[in-house]
Amino acid sequence: MSVKKIKSSCLETIKPVRDALDVLSGKWKLAIIVSVSVGNDRFTDIQDSIPGITPKVLAKELKELEQHQLIKRTIIDDYPVKIIYQPQPYSATLNPIIFALKDWGTNHKRKLFEEGFTMDDVGEIPQCLPDEQTQ
C-alpha cells in the first residue's frame, strides 16, 4: 500500500471524527445530553444533576447543543414562564457512543485500580446514564 493511500485512508477517518468531536467536545456536552435524556428537563434540574457545572457554562452548552439539533428548548407561555429542554430524536443516535464510552471508562478505571491507583487518582464513575434499552 502506498504512503499516499495510507494518508488518504487515515484522513477519511480523522476528518469525520474531528467533526464529531467539534460538536461534542468539552467536559459538559455529553453529560448534558445524558441528563436531558434521563428526564431532567428544567435548567436547574440539569445543573443539579451535573456536579461542578456553572449556570453560565450550562446556558452556553445548551445553546450549542440546540444549534446542533441535539436538544430542543421549549418556552411554555404560562405564569411564570417555563422553559424546558428535551432531547431531539436525533440525539438517541449518540446512545451507542455514550455506552461504548461508559464501558471503556469503566474498564479503564478498573485497569488503573488493578495497577494500584486510587479513587483520588482517577475520580468517580458517573452514575447518571440513560437506560441501556434505549440504545
Q: What is the pLDDT of residue 119?
A: 65
Residues sharing a CB contact under 8 Å with residue 23, sequence separation 6 or more, in sequence order: 29, 68, 70
Strand spans (E) along the chain? 71-76, 82-87
- Nearest CA to 32 out of 96, 126, 125 is that of 126
pLDDT tens for the chain, residues 1 to 135: 566 666 677 888 888 889 988 899 888 999 999 999 999 999 999 999 999 999 999 999 999 999 999 999 999 999 999 999 999 999 999 999 999 999 998 898 888 888 887 766 666 655 555 555 444
